[in-house]
Every structure is written in C-alpha cells, then in structure tokens.
Copies of this chain bind each other. A is one copy, B any other.
C-alpha cells in the first residue's frame, strides 16, 4: 500500500535558530515515523530576509528585481541545508532542493512571481528512495532558468502548490499559533480553537482579515482539494484542519480587519471613482449604497493615492475597521447585531451582507469591543443566539 504523503511548511520563526531547527526536525521525524512520506517546505531563518534586503538597499533603494531574487533566495538555501543536516545527523536521510532543483516553474514576474507548473519527478524519485525532501519555499525558477521569488506569503503558496502537484494527503502549515480561532485571541480572550473548518468559511475569514492563512493559499487548497492543517511548531496539539465544502455553524468565526477607509461620493460620481480605483490598482473591498451617497471600502494606505487624482469629488473619507461574522447565518443577524452594538453605544456606519458573512463597518476604536460583544452573543453563548433566532432553521 502506498504511504500517505504529507507536505509540512515551516516559516521563518520556526527555523529562526539552530535550536528551533532541531524542534522542526522532531515534527518531521514524528510524521516520518508515523508512516508518512514527508516533503518539507522552509522559509529563510527569521531576520535573514531583512538582513539581505538591508544590504541591497545600501546599494539601491530599488534594487534590480532579478538580482534581488538571486539575493533573497540565498536565505532559504541556508535554512533548507541546515534542516537537512539536522535530519541527517538524527539518522533520517534528507535531501534539500532549491526552487530550481525542485522544478518549481514560475512566470517572469521577479519579486512577485506566480507558480505555473511543478515538475515533481525529482521529488518523487527522492521520496521513492525513502529520503525526506526539504524544499526551499518562496522561490522558483522561470523558463530562462532565472531565480524568481513569489512575494508575500510565498512559502505557504509553495507548500500548498507542491501539495497539490504531489496529490498530498495533507498540507500542514506550521506557524506560531496552534490553529484557527473563532476570533483573534489577542482581542477576544474567550476565542476558541476550531478543530475543523470548512473551506468556504476559511476563505471568507481569510478574505475578511483573519491573518492565520493567506487567502491565495486557502483558495488554492480548496480548488485542488488539499486538506490544510494549521498547527504550532512550539506545541504538540493537532491544530485545525481545513477541509470540506459545508459549513455547519450559524457563526463559526469573527474576522477583524483594521486600517481600512470608507470613501464616499455622490451617487453620480461613483462610476468614475470605481474606474480610478481600477486604474490605480486600488482594491475595492466593498461597495456600499446609502440613500445619500455611495461608498467604497479600501485599505487606508491607498487613500492618499486615490485622493491625489480624485480629490475634488470625494465627499468624505474616514478611517474605519471591519468586523465580519462568518457562518451559515448572515442576513438573519443584521438586525440583532446592530441592536447588540447600539446597546453598548457602538454605531454601525454601514454593512454588507454576503451568503455566508455579515460585514459591519465601524470606527476603528470600536472594533475590539464589538468583536467581544458579538463573540459572546453568537459563539460563547449559543443559547443567546438560539433564543434570538428561533425563526431560523439551521438545517
């Protein structure tokens, strides 16, 4: 019988020192001893990418994109070699591969490349010889043989794309939190770890501000039916498994997105605003129609760019934060949510309802309190939710 294949990804913090690399090796060895084939994806040691960037910026504030990729990719080359040495020292045969050696072929977009194809033959041959294969995350090679890097969240993308190409049984993202929580535990002390999360809910949480996984990583895993697991390098629990198509909870999580802005214009200026956003590459998170105005939600740091070319027509621009409940109920929660928040003096400036999410727009200073109120009502105290939503069938 074919052994299960697991892809494990360890970020920069996880391989930040020789001691931590040892801890990482223990996770890998456990998976190997459990009877799995193991492919490991590693980032550069934490701090290393910044050190290399610092050297480059002493030369040029905008270094040549091609050469920046050559430079930064040296970071993972160091961590992958150190990890393979550690595994070998512990008696487990391991081979490291750069992005190029692993045949991770990308487009030509240096510093922000997209994986086009992975020829997995080298990896599967090494697995067949019973090696643990350690692959550099974040990097690939274009069709000219030039080194490329993937941009933000690159190592997660490497891991999940490799898992897809290898038809892995599971892709495990090791990080410094031990799973996906119902809300950011730094904000809501009663936030609970979710044992299992369905893909639609996870995608919506990632899209609306949950930092635990990058949105493209979740989307790729979903499309390619790769079960994803989030777990902590510094812990032994099973983390959270992201799997399946079906959400079974009224509210499974609450996502917080800070540093946004609500830009409003007169109705007849909206088409022109939308066009400017597109031309400037400013992502519109939401469009809100009110009686008096139309508004768009954008990242706050994009405001200045937009104001430069569109200033005279902007009616209002104000900093906001977004609070999004994700789960089966959305439309049904609108009234009760506004009521619960109004009782505590929090004004919902605007809102947007989607099939499985309710996004509330509010002043930045209100969002933490609001998160606690809704978490208490909808997640911690199930009975409260039930009593207020008697008319809703949860299917």
Contacts and interface: CB of A to CB of B under 8 A. Distances in A.
A59 B59 CA distance: 34
Interface in A135-172: 145-147
B70 A18 contact: no
A146 B81 CA distance: 12
Given A60-B88, A89-B60, A145 B81 contact: no
A82 B59 contact: yes
Contacts of A96: 67, 70
A78 interface: yes
Contacts of A232: none
Contacts of A146: 101
A353 interface: no
A304 interface: no
A145 B97 CA distance: 10
Interface stretch (A31-39, A50-58, A335-343): A50-58
A113 interface: no
A98 B146 CA distance: 10
A264 interface: no
A251 B228 CA distance: 75
A205 interface: no
Contacts of A84: 64, 67, 70
A126 to B, nearest CB: 11
A88 B60 CA distance: 9
Contacts of A59: 18, 21, 82, 85-86, 89
A375 interface: no
A306 interface: no
Interface string A98-116: 1011000000000000000
A9 interface: no
Q: What is the count of identical protomers in the complex?
A: 2
A66 interface: yes
Q: How large is the interface on A (under 10, 10 to 19, 20 to 34, 35 or more residues)?
A: 35 or more
A85 B64 contact: yes
A173 interface: no
A71 interface: yes
A146 B18 CA distance: 24
Contact of A71 (B55, B56, B71, B82): B82
A256 interface: no
Contacts of A357: none
B70 A56 contact: no
A80 B70 contact: yes
A60 B77 contact: no
Contacts of A100: 100
A85 B73 contact: no
Nearest to A86: B59
A47 interface: no
A63 interface: yes
A82 B64 contact: no
Contacts of A52: 78
B81 A77 contact: no
Contacts of A21: 59
A168 B192 CA distance: 68
7 contacts: A60-B88, A64-B89, A67-B94, A70-B81, A71-B81, A73-B77, A74-B77
The 6 closest A-B pairs by CB, nearest first: A71-B81, A70-B81, A74-B74, A74-B77, A60-B89, A18-B58
